[in-house]
Amino acid sequence: MFLEIRQFQEAYERILHNSSSHSSCQLVIFVSCLNIDALCASKMLARLFKKQLVQLQLVPVFGYSDLKQHFEKLDDNINSVVFIGCGGMIDIETFLEIDAQEYLLEEGPEPKFKRGIYILDTHRPWNLDNLFGSQIVTCFDDGTVEESLQEQREAYEKLTKLEQEQQDDSQESDPSDTEDDEEEDTIDDERSSDEESGRKRNAETDTRRQRKARRKMIDKYDTVLEEYYSQGTTVSNSISVQVYSLISSLGETNLQYLWLTILGASSLDTAFPQIYNQLQPLLQDEVKRLSPTESAKTPETLTLNIQPDYYLFLLRHSSLYDSFFYSNYVNAKLSLWNENGKKRLHKIFARMGISLSIAQENWLYMDNKIKRELGTIFDKNLERYGLQDIVRDGFVRTFGYRGAISASEFVESVTALLEIGQVSDPDELSKHNDSILLENNKELSEAFSRRERKWVSNFWLSWDALDDNVALMRRGIKHAQYLQRSVFNTGVAVLEKKLIKHLRIYRLCVLQDGPDLDLYKNPLTLLRLGNWIMECCAESDDKQLLPMVLASLDQETETYLVAGIAPRYPRGIDDVTSRKTILNNFSVAFQQIAAETGAKVRIDNFESSIIEIKKEDLSPFLEKLTLSGLL
Amino acid sequence: MSLPPNLQQSFSPEEIQFIVENEPIKIFSRITTRPSVRQRNSSQNSARWKLVTADDEPLNNLVAMQTTEVALWVALLLKQQGKCSIVAPSWLTARQLQKYTDYERKHPERFSDLPWNWLVVAQLLFIKAADDLHDPVHVLRGIVQDLREIRLSKISQGLKQLNESHLQLDNLSLLEINELRPFILGVMNKLKQVHSSLTTDQDDEDVF
């Protein structure tokens, strides 16, 4: 089943109705734990349910196997399960081995079930079994079904009907009838002389023609579905915005919900700028609608306002120079990784009339005059370097007297908390891990589970950071600066050593040794590095946009973490929304090749373009990928 | 003992809050629970409040946008769900509090007659019902802090008067008493002990 945006409220009311009993917790929310958007959405939902005094259990999961494990352990009396940020791309009923009949309460034209499963996921393509086939699974759709899935819907429904018929037929007639057409033809020729059998044959040919036509139809619909599933994956919308539209249909909007929504939407800005650009005007309207009109700043004001925001890395929390130096966008435009680029940056500062010593100062303590005039200075000078798109409208939140932070900076901070977590001094991170080589499989799985437990605890840390916890947020910012510096260093090393191989259809980069290799065990950090490299590549060559495969070696488990990254348009220049969205083809390709070669591959991440491969299987795998022509 | 040592002699702040939460407070209801005449006649039994420790009559008689008086804990529970707004007590306004501070300043010997639960109520309402207060919270917070500090200094002045027999603490609130209790009681008990030995000595001298 699926729901349009207008019907979200019904589902909410159904969940509320089903789980508002005093006895025990009957609502479980599974959250994909390495996804900021899902984090924000689940925070909003949890707050909403808390206000209604509904008990709920929130389970962060990092991958499919974990999800299945947790799902199997669920209590019997849990009657609503919500998946946030996961589950949309696989057939939930088969994957979790759910027998719908088991939960049946009431039969009839509209059967009632004991347990309902709700999917809030924006990964596309949808699995059609969830959308049209299942009766306990309810998908929250944002209009993709109406807009672009009509053909697939028809195909799916016809196909299930035809297959049903075929089954019925084969049950009725004896098994010889289901043999291939050619074989039947030869048999027919032999006994054609007989009159009586001729009449019989007429009826037979009739049914056979029917069957043939049916098979043709099945083939036709099959190809439609095949095409649909193999087109590559993308993200269609922000989950937080979906939850926000649910909340606003309940009439419960306030600034806190809006802030979380903005965070969720801005987290998509790095990887899917087109979605953020679409959502931004809507969010701006909401901000204007909800902002209180207070003149003076008081310790209690927690206002949101729209201010010019820059594509600079953590401008409000570091120095101007550093934020230029470490920003992805500036890095790409100026090719900062080489000496020339650095000189060019200094020249920019000279032209802007900001002395280097001032630029090195922390933003908080910088000259007020420069801060005030920064917008005009940028306007005048940056166009010469193609950096004019550095300025855009952003959202800034003020925490009373404790400071202000923009949405993109907050997202950076939360992401860094998800990656590093509890460590107070990030420098320890690279030291304490002296790689222990593991011998057998048991220890290997132990290493995995240890790491995954850490991610879950990191999830709760960033969960707390969303509660206006300024101290945690500051720590996150420190982590983010550390991470960005090491990503920059690794990125420069990759570009200087020319580690990126240009294969015919994609770029390949394998990280085998390096000082910060331990950092890249986390998919989020690997994607951060991927984003940095992709943006640099997107600027440098204008001929073709190539996707990239990025792999990093994990000494501990002897595996490569491999991320497939879709190609990217260079930022700015002309309207981004007018371009076609680029789908990530790796998710499909990885799965197919893993099945073909039988390489030791773990496809567990919800982001299906991220996989883990055994050390020795990587090169044959990539060879196959190059030759497969799936990209 | 079954009670931990820190709870044996006095209340914990949470217990004080628990006591204070039993006091009545006025709310603006946002929901209606009063059954209409038709409902009453048909004796349709919908969900009713049935309370043991508090009066459930006003709760079953709520009408939206009418003030009612209920226990503070019920008010906070309803407020959390957005089903009522709390009417701030008359002393919790910037003007009234200012009057109290003026009084405190003018009379160094006396405490102003704030309600016995002022600190706890103010704290609870600042956190949970900040949007219902008439004056901005940061102003109120400031004045409450002033009052608290003035009274604290008076208390420390008053501690000079500690003796073995009695002490008069008019208008001191429960929380303020509670934080002083272990110290004052200890000192006074000791003084009493010393004093009693003095009197027994005198008695002994009389005998001889």
Q: What are phi and psi of A611, to 5 degrees?
A: -135, 170
Q: Which residues contact A187 (CB under 8 A, 6 or more apart)?
A: none
- The secondary element (H helix, E strand) that includes residue A189 is helix A181-190
Q: Flag whether pLDDT at A174 surpasses 60.
A: no
Q: Flag whether pLDDT at B151 surpasses 90.
A: yes
Q: Which residues contact A264 (CB under 8 A, 6 or more apart)?
A: A36, A37, A39, A40, A41, A238, A239, A240, A241
Count of beta carbons in the 10 Å neighbourhood of residue B98: 14
Residue A395 pairs in a beta bridge with: A306
With an 8 Å Cβ cutoff, is A52 touching chain B?
Answer: yes
Name the minimum distance, in Å, from the CA of B131 to any CA of chain A. 11
Name the minimum distance, in Å, from the CA of A133 to any CA of chain B. 38
Q: Count the helices and strands in chain B (H runs, E runs).
A: 8, 3
Per-residue model confidence (pLDDT) at position A171: 67
Query: Which among B81, B136, B137 has CB closest to A52?
Result: B81
CATH topology of domain A500-630: Diaminopimelate Epimerase; Chain A, domain 1 (3.10.310)
**Domains located in chain B, CATH noted:** 14-33+54-87 (3.40.5.50), 88-160 (1.20.58.1020)
**Residue A300 to residue B82, Cβ atoms within 8 A:** no
Q: Flag whether pLDDT at A576 surpasses 70.
A: no
Q: What stretch(es) of chain A map to CATH 3.10.310? A: 500-630
**Residue A51 to residue B81, Cβ atoms within 8 A:** yes
Per-residue model confidence (pLDDT) at position A556: 72
A127-138, pLDDT tens digit by residue?
A: 888 888 777 888
Top-ranked range on mean pLDDT: pick from A45-49, A64-68, A158-162, A551-555 = A45-49
Per-residue model confidence (pLDDT) at position B180: 92
With an 8 Å Cβ cutoff, is A53 touching chain B?
Answer: yes
Top-ranked range on mean pLDDT: pick from A142-146, A379-383, A560-564 = A560-564
Per-residue model confidence (pLDDT) at position B24: 93
Mean pLDDT of A458-480: 89
Burial class of residue A230 (count of CB atoms within 10 Å of its CB; 0-12, 13-18, 19+)? middle
With an 8 Å Cβ cutoff, is B155 touching chain A?
Answer: no
B33-88, pLDDT tens digit by residue?
A: 888 877 777 655 667 888 888 888 888 888 988 999 999 999 999 999 889 999 99
pTM of the full structure: 0.87
Greater pLDDT, A596 or A106 = A596
Listed as own residue / partner, the contacts of A586-592 with beta carbons closer than 8 Å and 24 or more positions apart are A586/A547, A586/A549, A586/A631, A587/A232, A587/A233, A588/A229, A588/A230, A588/A231, A588/A232, A588/A233, A588/A630, A589/A564, A589/A625, A589/A628, A589/A630, A589/A631, A590/A562, A590/A564, A590/A625, A592/A628, A592/A630
- The secondary element (H helix, E strand) that includes residue B150 is helix B137-158
Per-residue model confidence (pLDDT) at position A187: 46
Per-residue model confidence (pLDDT) at position A573: 52
Contacts across the A-B interface (CB distance below 8 Å): 12
User: What is the average pLDDT score of chain A?
Assistant: 81
How far apart (Å, rounded) are the C-alpha atoms in residues A172 and A149? 35
Tokens of A326: 């470490």
Top-ranked range on mean pLDDT: pick from A151-155, A605-609, B175-179 = B175-179
**Residue A299 to residue B138, Cβ atoms within 8 A:** yes
A346-391, pLDDT tens digit by residue?
A: 888 888 888 888 888 888 888 788 888 888 888 888 888 777 778 8
Looking at chain A, which residue has its C-alpha nearest residue B126? A300
With an 8 Å Cβ cutoff, is A497 touching chain B?
Answer: no
Per-residue model confidence (pLDDT) at position B71: 93
Query: Which among A51, A52, A298 has CB closest to B136?
Result: A298
A454-467, pLDDT tens digit by residue?
A: 888 889 999 999 98
**H helices present in A389-469, as ranges:** 407-419, 427-432, 441-465
Mean pLDDT of A474-491: 89
A277-311, pLDDT tens digit by residue?
A: 888 899 999 998 888 776 677 787 778 888 888 88
**Residue B138 to residue A298, Cβ atoms within 8 A:** yes
Tokens of A600: 């030791």
A265-277, pLDDT tens digit by residue?
A: 999 888 888 888 8
With an 8 Å Cβ cutoff, is B136 touching chain A?
Answer: yes
With an 8 Å Cβ cutoff, is A251 touching chain B?
Answer: no
Q: Which of A92, A174, A177 is nearest to A136 (CA)?
A: A92
How far apart (Å, rounded) are the C-alpha atoms in residues B24 and B16? 15
Name the minimum distance, in Å, from the CA of B139 to any CA of chain A. 9
| Four-way CATH pick for A1-165+216-280: 1.20.1440.120, 3.90.380.10, 3.40.50.2300, 3.90.79.10 | 3.40.50.2300
Q: Which of A335, A323, A277 is nearest to A496 (CA)?
A: A335
Per-residue model confidence (pLDDT) at position B106: 94
Greater pLDDT, A212 or A182 = A212
**What ranges make up the beta strands (E) of B24-146?**
24-29, 67-71, 84-86
| Alpha-carbon torsion, ordered B29, B35, B37, B39, to 10 deg | 150
Mean pLDDT of B144-156: 94
CA distances to A127, A139, A215, A216 from A203, in Å: 40, 45, 18, 20
Name the minimum distance, in Å, from the CA of B81 to any CA of chain A. 5
Greater pLDDT, A561 or A166 = A561
Q: Flag whether pLDDT at A192 surpasses 70.
A: no
Contact call for residues A349 and A385 (beta carbons, < 8 A)? no
Name the minimum distance, in Å, from the CA of B19 to any CA of chain A. 24
Per-residue model confidence (pLDDT) at position A247: 92
**A49, A300, A301, A468, best to mutate vs chain B, most B CBs in 10 Å:** A300
**Residue B130 to residue A300, Cβ atoms within 8 A:** yes
Tokens of A521: 């065990």
Q: Which of A508, A589, A593 is nearest to A550 (CA)?
A: A508
Region of poorest pLDDT, from A23-32, A80-89, A151-160, A437-446: A437-446
Which chain B residues are Cβ-neighbours of A298 within 8 angstroms? Answer: 136, 138
Q: Cis ω on the peptide bond leading into residue B13 (within 30° of 0)?
A: no
Which chain B residues are Cβ-neighbours of A53 within 8 angstroms? Answer: 81
Top-ranked range on mean pLDDT: pick from A562-566, A626-630, B6-10, B118-122 = B118-122
Strand pairing class (B67-71; A391-398): unpaired
Top-ranked range on mean pLDDT: pick from A72-76, A361-365, A484-488 = A484-488
Per-residue model confidence (pLDDT) at position A432: 45
| 3-class state of residue A234 by DSSP | strand
Mean pLDDT of A18-45: 86
- The secondary element (H helix, E strand) that includes residue A391 is strand A391-398
Which chain A residues are Cβ-neighbours of B138 within 8 angstroms? Answer: 298-300
Looking at chain B, which residue has its C-alpha nearest residue A297? B138
DSSP A476-491: HHHHHHHHHHHHHHHH
Which chain A residues are Cβ-neighbours of B80 within 8 angstroms? Answer: 51
Q: Flag whether pLDDT at A181 surpasses 70.
A: no
| 3-class state of residue B46 by DSSP | coil
Tokens of B191: 């003084």
**Residue A51 to residue B82, Cβ atoms within 8 A:** yes
Per-residue model confidence (pLDDT) at position B77: 92
Per-residue model confidence (pLDDT) at position A179: 44
Terminal CA-to-CA distance of chain B, rounded, Å? 45
Q: What is the ipTM score, two decimals?
A: 0.84
Per-residue model confidence (pLDDT) at position A185: 47
Per-residue model confidence (pLDDT) at position B92: 93
**Residue A52 to residue B136, Cβ atoms within 8 A:** no
**H helices present in A441-580, as ranges:** 441-465, 470-496, 523-540
**Residue A51 to residue B80, Cβ atoms within 8 A:** yes
Q: What stretch(es) of chain A map to CATH 3.40.50.2300? A: 1-165+216-280
Greater pLDDT, A72 or A300 = A72
DSSP A137-151: EEEE--SHHHHH-HH
Q: What are phi and psi of A418, to 5 degrees?
A: -65, -35
Mean pLDDT of A12-34: 84
- Kindly state the greatest CA–CA separation across chain B: 90
Q: At what angle do helices B13-20 and B174-207 cross, to 10 degrees?
A: 110
B78-103, pLDDT tens digit by residue?
A: 999 889 999 999 999 999 999 999 99
Per-residue model confidence (pLDDT) at position B178: 93
Q: How far is CA A263 from the centre of its chain?
A: 15
With an 8 Å Cβ cutoff, is A295 touching chain B?
Answer: no
